[in-house]
Structure 1
Amino acid sequence: MLLEAEDLHVRYGNVEALHGINLQVRQGEIVTILGANGAGKTTTLRTISGLLRPAQGEIRFESQPIHKLPAHRLVAMGIAQSPEGRRVFGTLTVRENLNLGAFSQTDAGKIAKTLQWIYELFPVLAQRHNQLAGTLSGGEQQMLAIGRALMANPRILLLDEPSLGLAPLLVKAIFQTLWEINEAGVTIVLVEQNARAALKLAHRGYVMEVGRIVLEDRADALLANPEVRNAYLGGE
């Protein structure tokens, strides 16, 4: 198992945000986490990536406990996150943002190869490599945020709402690229409000409600589940 969370409890002060969740991610999978706003999806990703500390429970990466390690150590181990809201550095260029993503890398040849791959995935970033990130469109900033995470050469990529605020055609393009990234060998954990698109892309999924996992199944089974369809797919 590549990644496991067991009996994970996370608190913000006296408020418990995660109530003992368990999840597993196998090498090569795309796993999606669905749920309404406030369900605990972002908290789950932030805890996996080391930005939050669990009050109880354990996270393991390749069977090694990682829940007490700082975020930069996890990046070096192969866990990278593209955060909700993109969080690009607006006063830096596209290329400078991408270079920051490679802070844990030391092999110049490998960095150059990864950069070329990202430019192939997102040609617009190559065209705008000297442009300030703050002047990019929302879709271009999302591509940059994903590219920056990929510069760390992650084994597992955590994505928080990559389609948020994007036009449908751009959402389709982003999800096609996520499929290509997975085909290249990167495992993906995807938090996404667009449940239909996420389940069509993913191999398996978890459904969260108020800090608990209430359903887990193959993605196609969740897509056909009447409860999921009524709650997240408009009952279609």
Structure 2
Amino acid sequence: MAMLELAGVHVFYGHVHALKGIDLVVDEGEIVALLGANGAGKSTTLRAISGLVRPREGSIRFQGHDLLRLPAHQLPALGVAHAPEGRRVFGPLTVDENLTLGAYRQADRAAVEETRRWVFDLFPRLKERRHQLAGTMSGGEQQMLAIGRALMSRPRLLLLDEPSLGLAPLVVRQIFHTIREINRQGVTVLLVEQNARAALKLAHRAYVLETGTVAVAGPASDLLRDPRMQEAYLGGRAGRAG
């Protein structure tokens, strides 16, 4: 059974038909990339999974649970965490306080501290900055914190929305390396990413959305070589060597 399955999902924003019957499957242990142009429906797909928007039609199931029957705040207890686009850290709070908020449903304080140590192992910079106000950190550090905060609930499925947005290439490489390590340690990842080439090198499989529908899907390695992907998302033939 798939860990996550979307079937025939339609989402509207008023009269705007944002998702038009999306079908998507994520198996346990995978990194799956969700690619496409701005406005294609990528972030809406993640928001539908995490309960922030409600589909008008279709089904979303996570390990047998019907997510459409649950309020968003109950999903972390099931094992679903969402690191949203734009990071959205709590600027007036410290790194430690942001991480603690990510574990708000965890009653076992020893387990929370163990998870905090895990996050600091993944992101040593956060340990160095643990008493710093999040709002004074760089964009890359805030992205690390957004991911770390999501990990504090010990998710089985991590939804990542545009983790490379606005970051320098060196920082992007560091964050993508850490995403691979998070996955290696047992967390399944559904990744929305504008940097299609980097996402396809990281992911096992990928879906490409166009105006709210799945246009292309398949193994990431195949899509890297697909001429349609080359022309539309990977910078043309000249980008193949990158």
* Fold shared, TM-score > 0.5 on shorter chain: yes
| Unmatched runs of 5 consecutive residues or more in structure 1 | none
Paired positions, count: 236
1:154 matches 2:155: yes
**What is the aligned-residue identity percentage?**
62
For 2:119 and 2:64, the matched residues in 1 are separated by 30
1:35 matches 2:62: no
1:170 matches 2:176: no
Task: Give the equivalent residue in structure 1 for 2:127.
Answer: 126
Structure 2 matches for 1:101-112, cutoff 5 A? 101-112=102-113
1:64-95 C-alpha deviation (Å, 9 max, x unpaired): 21113111111111100000000000000000
Runs of 4+ in 1 over 3 A off after TM superposition: none
- Deviation, 1:50, is 0.7
Q: Is the 8 A contact 1:5 1:24 kept in 2?
A: yes
Structure 2 matches for 1:19-30, cutoff 5 A? 19-30=20-31
1:139 matches 2:144: no
1:105 alignment partner AA: Q
Task: Give the equivalent residue in structure 1 for 2:208.
Answer: 207
* Helix, strand or coil at the partner of 1:129: coil
- Deviation, 1:206, is 0.1
Q: Is the 8 A contact 1:53 1:68 kept in 2?
A: no
| Unmatched runs of 5 consecutive residues or more in structure 2 | none
Task: Give the equivalent residue in structure 2 for 1:70.
Answer: 71
1:85 matches 2:94: no
For 2:218 and 2:138, the matched residues in 1 are separated by 36
* Helix, strand or coil at the partner of 2:215: strand
1:216 matches 2:212: no
- Deviation, 1:229, is 1.0
For 1:108 and 1:38, the matched residues in 2 are separated by 41
Task: Give the equivalent residue in structure 2 for 1:113.
Answer: 114
- Deviation, 1:108, is 1.3
For 2:17 and 2:76, the matched residues in 1 are separated by 26
Task: Give the equivalent residue in structure 1 for 2:198.
Answer: 197
- Deviation, 1:63, is 2.0
For 1:89 and 1:135, the matched residues in 2 are separated by 11
For 1:120 and 1:61, the matched residues in 2 are separated by 28
For 1:216 and 1:33, the matched residues in 2 are separated by 9
Q: Is the 8 A contact 1:33 1:206 kept in 2?
A: yes
- Deviation, 1:14, is 1.4
1:22 alignment partner AA: D
For 2:227 and 2:104, the matched residues in 1 are separated by 45
